[in-house]
Amino acid sequence: MKCPACGKEMTHISAEDYHYLESGLDNVILRGIDVFRCPCGEEVARIPSIDELHTLIGRKLVKKNSLLNGKEIRFLRKNIGVSAQKLARQMGVDNATISRWENNKQRITKSHDLHLRLIYCNMKRIPPEEISHLIQEEFPKVQEGYTDIPTHVIPRAEWSKEHSCISS
């Protein structure tokens, strides 16, 4: 594979751990990803089944036991493909509130946090029994405020059945 920055040939590393910052989250590590590195410092990852990966990340977020932070709110909103304006209408808040939540200028309330999680589950067609479990079992444990954000290490096999294959 040629480097998109300098045009030199890149070195292929198979089945590597990759810090997936492109998700907009700081705490996602993908295990078993093909990575290409160039001497100029450029790095390119080949990530299969991105839609499935993002749905898996979203499911992990709706099950977390603390309030969603700004990056997580933005990730969920973008993953369901709605604008901030549309989400604001659905949640009964103004556009500025969504912006403040996503930019960590204002904490989301526990009731709005649950509402957002439920909107996400509905839009992603999460099975009703999982939603019921979320409401009855998981969400009551959610702590007010933020806790340390765990690192999500996600093995490729959890979202992609595609075998590692290289094509240049």
35-44 pLDDT per residue, tens:
999 999 999 9
Indicate the average pLDDT of the chain.
90
On the CB side of 148, CA atoms within 13 Å amount to 3
pLDDT at 138: 84
User: Given this model, what pLDDT does residue 137 score?
Assistant: 86
Q: What is the pLDDT of residues 103-146, one digit of tens each?
A: 999 999 999 999 999 999 999 999 989 889 888 888 888 877 66
- Give percent of the chain with pLDDT exceeding 70: 93
Determine what percent of the chain is predicted with pLDDT higher than 90.
73
Mean pLDDT for the stretch of residues 91-97: 97
Instruction: Report d(CA 56, CA 52) in Å as an integer.
Output: 6
The continuous run of DSSP H or E covering 152 comes out as strand 152-155
Task: Report the pLDDT value the prediction gives residue 64, as an integer from 0 to 100.
Answer: 87
Q: With 70 as the cut, is the pLDDT of residue 84 above it?
A: yes
Is pLDDT above 80 for 168?
Answer: no
**In the predicted model, is pLDDT for residue 28 greater than 50?**
yes
What's residue 167's pLDDT?
31
Taking residues 7-22, what's their average pLDDT? 94
pLDDT of 150 above 80: no
- The answer to whether the CB of 69 falls within 8 A of the CB of 149 is yes
pLDDT score, position 66: 87
User: Which residues 6+ apart lie within 8 Å of 110 measured at CB?
Assistant: 67, 142, 144
Q: Regarding beta strands 43-46 and 152-155, do their DSSP bridges make them parallel or antiparallel, or are they unpaired?
A: unpaired
Residues of the chain with CATH 1.10.260.40: 50-147
**Cβ atoms within 10 Å of 27's Cβ, excluding its own:** 17
- With cut-offs at 50, 70 and 90, classify the pLDDT of residue 166: very low
Class of domain 50-147: mainly alpha
- Measured at the CA of 77, the angle between CA 46 and CA 154, to 5 degrees, comes to 40
Q: Supply the Cα-derived Rg of the chain in whole angstroms.
A: 18
CA 151 – CA 8 distance, rounded (Å) = 33
